[in-house]
Amino acid sequence: MTASTTTLPGLAAGTWAIDPVHSSVGFSVRHLMVSKVRGTFENFSGSIVVAEDGTATADAEIQVDSINTKNADRDAHIKSADFFDAANYPVASFATTGVRAEGGDYVLAGDFTLHGVTRPIELTLEFNGVNPGMGQGAVAGFEATTVINRKDFGITIEMPLEGGGAVVGDKITLNIEIEAIQQA
């Protein structure tokens, strides 16, 4: 990982661990051309490491078999070789390559690995600040979004509809909300 060139105000040097109880990793994808299916990943972890000069790196892992779309049959299909092939590619990961200010927010650049394919992506990052926390250390809050194309990651299943279009869209919107706790 390469350290960022932008600092985030108030984020003290040290390691900040993602608190999965107060964080979420979600997504949405077009379904039947007219609506969206939304889901979450229940098991994920990661950390942010802030250097003394204020630059930061972040990494995260998502257990893809922890997908939850509130439909067990659909979840089983998404875990299958048609989509995630979770048996062969159980983890999706992200590692930063840089952070830059953009307007009042930031852009978090990094390498995202899904389905055994690694590609650079950029997430729009909102830094929500730092709070002293409730006795377990300071907490920092972040929200990030990006749109990826599933086919760029080798998930190429085609499920055409009889009248045109597809059952599942190609564009996946990722929505990430993170609360990180400063480690002692």
In the three-class reduction of DSSP (H, G, I as helix; E, B as strand; rest coil), residue 53 is classed as: coil
- Answer for the pair 149, 170: CB distance below 8 angstroms, yes or no: yes
pTM (2 d.p.): 0.91
Kindly state the tokens that stand for 44. 């994920």
d(CA 67, CA 25): 10
Query: In the chain, what are the domain boundaries?
Result: 14-182
CATH superfamily assigned to domain 14-182: Lipid/polyisoprenoid-binding, YceI-like (2.40.128.110)
3-state helix, strand, coil in the chain (%, to 5): 10, 55, 35
pLDDT in tens, 21-42: 999 999 999 888 788 999 999 9
pLDDT in tens, 88-143: 999 999 999 999 989 889 999 999 999 999 999 999 999 999 999 888 889 999 99
Nearest to 44 by CA among 87, 90, 103, 108: 90
Please give the pLDDT value at position 2. Answer: 42
pLDDT in tens, 134-183: 888 899 999 999 999 999 999 988 887 788 777 888 999 999 999 999 99
